[in-house]
Amino acid sequence: MGLGAARSCGDARMSTRVEGATVLVTVTACATLSAGPVHLSLSAREGPAPGTWRYNLNDGTDHRAASGRVAGMTDHMDVLRYAAGIGAAGYEPGTAERGLLEQFAAAQR
């Protein structure tokens, strides 16, 4: 395994290159939904395996209004829409929170 410092034009060390290293890419997606005084934050993080996600729904009064996991989805927007649909069920019909989440869940690309 070879190690070597990458150098800039001024010969300052910038990074280290490692041959044979494994790169792990994680995806985090966030959506902010707002209407008047209501502000919701929906986030989803992929990993460690591709297609497995954890999601969180946060609001101003209950920092974690909903959370969960989903597998088998590869598109971050599909995951956010799925999580919005699940989170909407936690609010009473006719509330701004439920309306925002249902509208986001039903949105098409």
**100 pLDDT more than 90:** yes
Half-sphere exposure of 75 (CA within 13 A, CB side): 6
* Averaged pLDDT, 58-62: 79
**78 pLDDT more than 70:** yes
Q: Report the pLDDT value the prediction gives residue 46, as an integer from 0 to 100.
A: 93
Residue 87 is inside which H or E element, if any? helix 76-88
Q: Among 68, 95, 89, 64, which residue's Cα sits nearest to residue 79?
A: 68
* Averaged pLDDT, 60-74: 85
Q: Of residues 25 and 89, which shows the higher confidence score? A: 89
